[in-house]
């Protein structure tokens, strides 16, 4: 079963920041938080991941609470093309080739409005 809880849907105005919350209260010490998004009828696209520190890349920022029980994905300036289902996933780290599977929850459908 998925270890994360996300709101089923959110709206955001174009040009504004989109803040997508995720609850992962049972996360283990060696588990990372991954964010992916899926635009209709396409494969999931990697956005960002983190362990405990906040992370930022060209797509988004990831804010992880100090107790690691929740996180927020921030899209700083949402565009219509950011409309997608956003998945928050927790999974243990990769060690020397051993890989843990990604289990998807139901995700959040973000609708960016013009």
Partner 1 sequence: GAVVSQHPSRVICKSGTSVKIECRSLDFQATTMFWYRQFPKQSLMLMATSNEGSKATYEQGVEKDKFLINHASLTLSTLTVTSAHPEDSSFYICSASRVAGGYTFGSGTRLTVV
Q: How far is the CB of 33 from partner 1 (least distance, A)?
A: 13
Distance of CA 66 to the CA centre of its chain: 17
Beta strands in 1-114 (DSSP E): 9-13, 18-23, 31-38, 45-50, 55-56, 61-64, 70-75, 84-92, 108-113
Choose between 81 and 101: whose C-beta lies nearer to partner 1: 101
The answer to whether 9 touches 108, Cβ cutoff 8 Å, is yes
Distance separating alpha carbons of residues 9 and 57, to the nearest angstrom: 24
Q: Mask 35-74, x = binds partner 1 (CB under 8 A)?
A: -x-x--xxxxxx--x-------------------------
Site size for partner 1 (CB under 8 A): 23
The edge-to-edge listing of strands for the beta sheet with 55-56 is: 18-23, 70-75, 61-64, 55-56
Stretch that binds partner 1, among 13-21, 61-69, 73-81, 101-109 (CB under 8 A): 101-109
CB count within 10 Å of CB 103 equals 13
- Told to check if 34 binds partner 1 by CB under 8 A, we report yes
Stretch that binds partner 1, among 15-23, 52-60, 64-72, 102-110 (CB under 8 A): 102-110
- Told to check if 13 binds partner 1 by CB under 8 A, we report no
Binding residues vs partner 1 (CB under 8 A): 34, 36, 38, 41-46, 49, 87, 93-94, 96-97, 99, 101-107
């Amino acid at each position: 079963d998925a270890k994360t809880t996300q709101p089923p849907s959110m709206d955001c105005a174009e040009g504004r920041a989109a803040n997508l919350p995720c609850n992962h209260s049972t996360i283990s010490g060696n588990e990372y938080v991954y964010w992916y998004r899926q635009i209709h009828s396409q494969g999931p696209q990697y956005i960002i991941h983190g362990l405990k520190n906040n992370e930022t890349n060209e797509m988004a920022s990831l804010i992880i609470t100090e107790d690691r029980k929740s996180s927020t994905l921030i899209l700083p300036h949402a565009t219509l093309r950011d409309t997608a289902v956003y998945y928050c996933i927790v999974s243990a780290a990769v060690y020397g080739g051993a890989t843990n599977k990604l289990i998807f929850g139901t995700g959040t459908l973000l609708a960016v409005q013009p």
